[in-house]
């Protein structure tokens, strides 16, 4: 499996494209602004088939372009606690344009989720099994997607290399975030590579030892 990452949009949000070397299927983790412009042409020119769009949580910078990737046969996976943010983003426009007045109507387009995941649910993609872990605190519907086969996890904005997600946004909760990290992220094997929603990768073991905000 090949992994490519782009940091896109006003918050440099990571979009990850995972491609199977066997059958040319691919999967996208998060769809920041400009993801469609950058990544769709690559999917097309390589003759890849997109099977899944995973949304780590419903904040605008992670779901903005998801609608552009959706067509028949593409599964869109997210947690139901962020249903309003993902399927009714138009209602949150004022909140975001207060910070980013340069955004336009086209930046606020909802995406229909085809499968709501609960904590512990698994799904098959790219010939392997992914496990969803519910890691709320930064956002109520925050999910982590774990592949034991590859020893990696997409952690969204729950934890970053040397930092954690902010909890001062609406419905953020610091104690809940700490609990999520300690219970559902630090319980992964230490060698697990964490691929977060912003910034570079890290490992579970490194964060357990050095993260100044979330001690085990």
Which residues sit at the interface with Zn ion, rule CB under 5 A?
A: 59, 61, 157, 197
Q: Which CB sits closer to Zn ion, 18 or 143?
A: 143
Q: Which CB sits closer to Zn ion, 81 or 157?
A: 157
CA distance 161 to 81: 26
- CA neighbor of 198 nearest in space, from 58, 10, 1: 10
Contact 190, 203 (CB under 8 A): yes
CA distance 71 to 35: 16
DSSP result, 132-192: EEE--SSSTT-EEEEETTTTEEEEETTEETTEE----STT--HHHHHHHIIIIITTS-TTP
Both tokens of 8, joined, read 């896109």
Q: 10 in helix, strand or coil?
A: coil
**Diameter of the chain measured on Cα atoms:** 46
Dihedral in degrees, nearest 10, Cα atoms 49, 8, 38, 102? 120
Q: Alpha-carbon torsion 203, 161, 59, 46, what sign?
A: negative
Q: How far is the CB of 12 from Zn ion (least distance, A)?
A: 9
Q: Which CB sits closer to Zn ion, 126 or 133?
A: 133
Q: Which CB sits closer to Zn ion, 28 or 126?
A: 28
Q: Which CB sits closer to Zn ion, 59 or 134?
A: 59
Q: How far is the CB of 189 from Zn ion (least distance, A)?
A: 25
Q: Which CB sits closer to Zn ion, 52 or 62?
A: 62
Q: How far is the CB of 126 from Zn ion (least distance, A)?
A: 24
Q: How far is the CB of 19 from Zn ion (least distance, A)?
A: 23
């Amino acid at each position: 499996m090949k992994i490519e990452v782009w940091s896109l949009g006003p918050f440099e949000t990571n979009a990850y494209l995972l491609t199977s070397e066997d059958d040319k299927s691919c999967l996208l983790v998060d769809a920041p602004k400009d993801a469609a412009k950058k990544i769709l042409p690559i999917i097309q020119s390589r003759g890849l088939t997109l099977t899944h769009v995973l949304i780590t949580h419903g904040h605008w910078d992670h779901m903005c372009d998801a609608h552009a990737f959706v067509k028949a046969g593409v599964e869109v996976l997210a947690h139901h606690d962020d249903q309003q943010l993902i399927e009714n983003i138009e209602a949150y426009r004022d909140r975001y344009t207060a910070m980013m007045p340069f955004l336009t109507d086209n930046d606020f387009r909802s995406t229909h989720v085809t499968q709501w995941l609960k904590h512990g649910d698994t799904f098959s993609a790219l010939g392997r099994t992914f496990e969803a872990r519910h890691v709320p605190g930064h956002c109520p519907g925050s999910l982590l997607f774990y592949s034991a086969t590859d020893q990696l996890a997409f952690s969204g904005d729950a934890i970053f290399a040397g930092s954690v997600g902010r909890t001062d946004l609406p419905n953020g909760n610091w104690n809940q975030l700490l609990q999520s990290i300690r219970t559902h992220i630090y319980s992964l094997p230490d060698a697990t590579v964490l691929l977060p929603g912003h910034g570079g990768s890290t490992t579970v073991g490194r964060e357990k030892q050095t993260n100044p905000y979330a001690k085990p």
